[in-house]
């Protein structure tokens, strides 16, 4: 399977321009032979919402709004799987969501479980869990940005047999990082891939939006925990492409004759005793 990650800078509030931007990335990735294309969090709208009304005005019903219709159409036309972030509207509720579009026209929505900072003012916590999508390549899952700070997110997917986790994200600077150090987000992504024996494709955005800086550094990480593409630069658009052998990924989950970090779990030992 060939995986592509598109690192871009969306224009806040300009859905038409962002749809056109993502279309160009998807077409370029498909021309390079990509089977899966991952794009950033809230790439159809931009991230820095000023109010719930603004967020609601930029949101769409999955599969029925301009961005998700375009992504589904491109998936079918080009024969690729498209994963991208958008603000989802369901009745009066709003979600920070991602859609996975299959070439056969079907789609699956993931709603961000762990909301970051002022997202909680506008969005509902995700209520769909961590769904798995079976494809001809393997089992795909999704999460969004801050979800990656919770080991349980990756482990929930790993326990369902996920092969590739697609992560639309909008990573921001973490205080205390020294110049030249890798981003904390990239370290967490690499650690999660290694600890669970899975592939992770994380698509970040770049630029400054309403005063908020984003750090780029998108990457594709193999089941070993080492990047096979990226990290991309902290500034500027980038398209990362990597070939992934999911059969090798599955075989490698056993670390020799005795160890497998998913199978070796001991839930009975993780019980929290009352503080004495």
The angle formed by the CA atoms of residues 239, 21 and 29, to the nearest 5 degrees, is: 35
- Alpha-carbon distance of 192 to 50, in angstroms, equals 33
pLDDT in tens, 171-226: 999 999 888 888 999 999 999 999 999 999 999 999 999 999 999 999 999 999 99
Check if the beta carbon of residue 132 is closer than 8 Å to that of residue 114.
Answer: no
The angle formed by the CA atoms of residues 124, 128 and 134, to the nearest 5 degrees, is: 145
- Alpha-carbon distance of 223 to 6, in angstroms, equals 20
Active-site residue set = 41, 112, 145
List the structure tokens of 235.
């500034």
Domains with residue ranges and CATH for the chain: 2-270 (3.60.110.10)
pLDDT of residue 127: 97
pLDDT in tens, 90-135: 999 999 999 999 999 999 999 999 999 999 999 999 999 999 999 9
List the structure tokens of 81.
């799987």
């Amino acid at each position: 399977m060939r995986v592509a990650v598109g690192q871009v800078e969306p224009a806040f509030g300009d859905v038409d321009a962002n749809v056109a931007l993502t279309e160009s990335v998807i077409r370029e990735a498909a021309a390079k032979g990509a089977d899966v294309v991952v794009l950033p969090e809230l790439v159809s709208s931009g991230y820095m919402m000023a109010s719930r009304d603004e967020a609601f005005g930029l949101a769409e019903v999955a599969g029925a709004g301009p961005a998700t219709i375009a992504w589904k159409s491109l998936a079918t036309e080009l024969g690729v799987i498209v994963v991208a972030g958008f603000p989802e509207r369901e009745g009066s509720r709003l979600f920070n969501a991602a859609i996975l579009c299959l070439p056969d026209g079907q789609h699956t929505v993931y709603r961000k479980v762990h909301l970051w900072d002022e997202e909680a003012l506008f969005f509902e916590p995700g209520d769909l869990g961590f769904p798995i999508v079976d494809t001809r390549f393997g089992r795909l899952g999704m999460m969004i940005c801050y979800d990656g700070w919770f080991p349980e997110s990756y482990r929930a997917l790993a326990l369902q047999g996920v092969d590739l986790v697609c992560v639309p994200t909008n990573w921001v600077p973490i205080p205390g990082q020294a110049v030249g150090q890798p981003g904390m987000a990239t370290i967490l992504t690499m650690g999660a891939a290694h600890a669970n024996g899975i592939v992770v494709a994380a698509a970040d955005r770049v630029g400054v939006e309403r005063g908020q800086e984003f750090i780029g550094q998108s990457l594709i990480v193999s089941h070993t925990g080492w990047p096979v593409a990226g990290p991309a630069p902290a500034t500027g658009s980038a398209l990362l492409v990597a070939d992934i052998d999911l059969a090798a990924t599955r075989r490698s989950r056993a670390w020799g004759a005795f160890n497998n970090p998913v199978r070796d779990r001991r839930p009975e030992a993780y019980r929290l005793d009352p503080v004495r």
